[in-house]
Structure 1
């Protein structure tokens, strides 16, 4: 039976377009002349988080946070950059952007560092699966908009075996070496990936940005335009 895609996550899953996603509430539109940065990895150097990613050649990459000083670096001639974060405490949100002269391009993704880096480090975006920068093969995140569940993770090349509440899923490759599986359900769920069981505790009820422990993992809830919210659960 064909099911119409009506929810935020379902609409994203039905779309073949991978770029141009809507950003978190309040994000500015990216400039058509400047490529926004894309963070694609994180490592730990002692107590310091080192982010790496791509942007335009020699672009000025800036991370801005509501309650912390901006952090910046310059990409090399190939557009690659590394950015060392200062010591952090608590849960910090960064908005990645590129500045070239007076022009700027804001990423549709928000970088979230949980517990100063002691917890997960992720990229969130409205209607898209959460990208776990510190994850491994298997289940990285479960996103929900209250009507749809989207499980996602990394793959070593082979399609993972995914089961949600007894239903065998057919994961879809989505780039960045990642997969996703979408089901039109809400509420707590039992998810099995390559034989490993995860007990998803359900979506959060907060109306504002909240990071909290939920079951055996972390849960992020954030508002999404025009009047919705999205939750990402990150298993331990």
Structure 2
């Protein structure tokens, strides 16, 4: 059996975002906004490079309500925008924490997080995916980075692919130092961060579709068909395949069912 070792980038490094300190939830509001897609600041100026883009850290579904929480610049207005123009907003507290509540969408919803501080607006590179009715995987997607599951996920949270490489990502118990992963006939080691998040970029030798993490076995169903509507969610083996485009490049993430 071939053996290889990959040191994964942590979720914090992959997102390149500083998380705000503090554990308390800030004062929040959730209101549909009438304005359209992401904008530059008033007067045509570019978004400030100093504004911290929001980080969605957790999601909870309670009946017909989806509660999202995370961190942003203290006192900033956080807006989640869809391409269709629908928007949801919250305000971060003095500690940078925010709590946003929204009604579970009737259809799959794709949202771009944005921070507004004064006249400046800073858009996140992430895309938040919320499934219809809040039923199914809720995830933060990023082109070139690991998908981060916010719902209850198995040992393997996602397999991302851009047609050139695959990235495995998930979460394990806090304090875990190493996590053995087997892909086909290749044995790897993941190195979780302090929160238990891990991800591995597979090399060409790890070509198998069967993935073993601990005592759990997963079979990647592939990237699927390149055509069709984007963004979209479709059933694929024992999970969901999410397909979207970022910067003109087609991205896919396979999200295994919770076990």
Tell me, in whole angstroms, the C-alpha distance in 1 between the residues paired with 2:102 and 2:208: 35
| Structure with more contact order per residue of length (Cα contacts < 8 Å, sep ≥ 6) | 2
Q: Which runs of 5+ in 2 are unaligned?
A: 1-5, 18-37, 41-45
Q: CA contact under 8 A between 1:131 and 1:140: conserved in structure 2?
A: yes
Q: 1:233 maps to which residue?
A: 254
Q: 2:185 maps to which residue?
A: 166
Q: CA contact under 8 A between 1:187 and 1:203: conserved in structure 2?
A: no
Q: Which runs of 5+ in 1 are unaligned?
A: 1-9
Moved more, 176-185 or 141-150: 176-185
Q: CA 1:166/1:135 → structure 2, altered by over 3 Å: closer, same or farther? A: farther
Q: 2:149 maps to which residue?
A: 132
Figure out how many residues of one structure are paired with residues of the other and give that number. Answer: 221
- How far off its partner does 1:19 sit? 4.4
- For residue 98 of structure 2, the aligned residue among 59, 81, 92 is 81
Moved more, 67-76 or 173-182: 173-182
Moved more, 46-55 or 180-189: 180-189
TM-score, normalisation: structure 2: 0.76
**Larger-Rg structure:** 2
Q: 2:49 maps to which residue?
A: 32
Q: CA 1:121/1:17 → structure 2, altered by over 3 Å: closer, same or farther? A: closer
TM-score, normalisation: structure 1: 0.83
Q: CA contact under 8 A between 2:14 and 2:146: conserved in structure 1?
A: no
- How far off its partner does 1:215 sit? 0.7
Q: 1:7 maps to which residue?
A: none
Q: CA contact under 8 A between 2:64 and 2:133: conserved in structure 1?
A: no
Q: 2:68 maps to which residue?
A: 51
Q: Deviations over 1:56-89 (max 9, x none)?
A: 1111111111235211111111000000012311
